[in-house]
Structure 1
């Protein structure tokens, strides 16, 4: 299985505003399912066909940045790592989801 880690935001779906992409990892593949505009927005509006079931407590990475975890109805958990951008807006890095 490939090693997935923290990766920068992607614009491969045509976004030009730095909107990060959500990745859900299932076994040995990553499926791109949608975008987040901001980790503090209503994620359900941006996740295609996957409504959020509940929010999970935040955590911090080694640099002390806040992480927002969300449990999806299919049992997967995604973590979006917050980081401060140059213009002061909170954006996100995507991380593998774990069942």
Structure 2
């Protein structure tokens, strides 16, 4: 299983194995990672699973779809060029080693 690392605002990192085909958001929820609320359950309708993808991991991601781009306009923390909704990041073998930084707030 690919390993995903979630980095809290205070710099604390938690690496967990996430099953293929699962979203990065679900990986956080299933592993009790604080900082991802996932209020809409992964439907790209609330932006409470906003993350900042580490610069070293950006090349492994597919481009955001228009629905995700739209919802990124509603994040509680600043939207940055590396902002993504973790519910839209499906775990593949290419994402092994993905690092995401959690924002200071989700709403």
Greater per-residue helix proportion: 2
Greater per-residue strand proportion: 1
| Structure with greater contact order relative to length (CA < 8 Å, sep ≥ 6) | 2
Larger radius of gyration: 1
TM-score clears 0.5: no
Q: TM-score range by the shorter chain?
A: 0.3 to 0.5
